[in-house]
Amino acid sequence: MIRIKNLDIKPTEHEKEKASNSYLMSLVGIIIGLPIPIVNLICTLIFFFGNRNATYFVKWHCTQALISQFILLIVNNIAFWWTISIIIDFNNFSNAYFAYILVLFIFNITEFIMTIYSAIETRKGIQVEWWIYGGLTNLILNSKNEKNNI
């Protein structure tokens, strides 16, 4: 689920701290806006735009954190609106709904643990790539010039 890569060029302490903070922004968002999932995305997006001129290591981790929060927002919003539709229409809860909520719970807990783990490892200067998000991040930041600046 998580792949750790050795870096050819070691990031500076400042870069490691910024990259680690990109993951911590989503956790701060959880504390501030737990009932409103878009707060997490907004916090991460602000940090992302604040570091768009940073080194590749920092941009890479800011992008991965942003992608994870975007996917999490979509998954959580599906559950939110599905629940609202059940409440408004007085529909019965289906097995599919309960299965989705169970998967959603597992997904959110896993994402929370991975975020903490990534923040800790990134602070040590270790490149942590999440299974799907790392590939998407590489596609977004696929630039030969920037890859040499890791």
- Does residue 100 carry a pLDDT above 90? yes
> What is the pLDDT, as a whole number, of residue 35?
55
pLDDT per position as a tens digit, 16-47: 888 888 888 777 666 665 556 677 788 888 88
Task: Please give the model's pTM, rounded to 2 decimal places.
Answer: 0.78
Which position has the higher pLDDT, 61 or 9?
61
Residue 7's pLDDT band (cuts 50, 70, 90): low
> What is the pLDDT, as a whole number, of residue 145?
47
What residue spans define the domains of the chain?
2-147
Q: Please, what is the average pLDDT of the chain?
A: 82
Distance of CA 49 to CAs 10, 52, 64, Å? 23, 5, 13
**Exposed, middle or buried: residue 62 (CB in 10 Å: 0-12, 13-18, 19+)?**
buried
Strands (E), the chain: 2-5, 127-130
> What is the pLDDT, as a whole number, of residue 8?
62
